[in-house]
């Protein structure tokens, strides 16, 4: 699929991109080669290939879910300007 100058200008307008006049032809060639590559990839028969999420059988090693720090809420709230029932009080910002 070959793109011409008007196609590139239309794509640039839709994408809200400003392309210099001297660069339009180069963009057309690059986009055409990308679309040709996509056509080649779509022509490959993948019916015998099983879909997969990742090409390697990798599993993520997870750490043990354990508490490493104690509750410091009271200590942290000592510097707060306003606290009530263990909650920080903030000014109302939405009316």
pLDDT band at 11 (very low <50, low <70, confident <90, very high): very high
Helices (H) and strands (E) in the chain, counts: 3, 2
pLDDT above 80 (res 33): yes
Least confident of 4-18, 29-43, 48-62, 75-89: 48-62
Provide the token pair at 89: 């009080």
DSSP secondary structure letter of residue 27:
H
Q: Domains in the chain, start-ordered, CATH in brackets?
A: 5-42 (1.10.20)
pLDDT score at 2: 87
Regarding pTM above 0.95, the answer is no
H or E element that contains 88: strand 87-88
| Distance, CA of 35 to CA of 42 (rounded, Å) | 10
pLDDT score at 37: 96
């Amino acid at each position: 699929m070959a793109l011409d100058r008007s196609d590139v200008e239309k794509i640039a307008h839709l994408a809200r991109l400003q392309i210099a006049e001297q660069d339009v032809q180069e963009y057309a060639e690059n986009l055409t080669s990308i679309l040709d590559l996509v056509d080649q990839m779509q022509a490959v028969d993948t019916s015998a290939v099983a879909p997969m999420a990742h090409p390697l059988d990798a599993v993520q090693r997870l750490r043990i879910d354990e508490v490493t720090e104690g509750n410091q809420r009271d200590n942290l709230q000592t510097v707060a300007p306003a606290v009530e029932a263990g909650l920080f009080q903030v000014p109302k910002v939405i009316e």
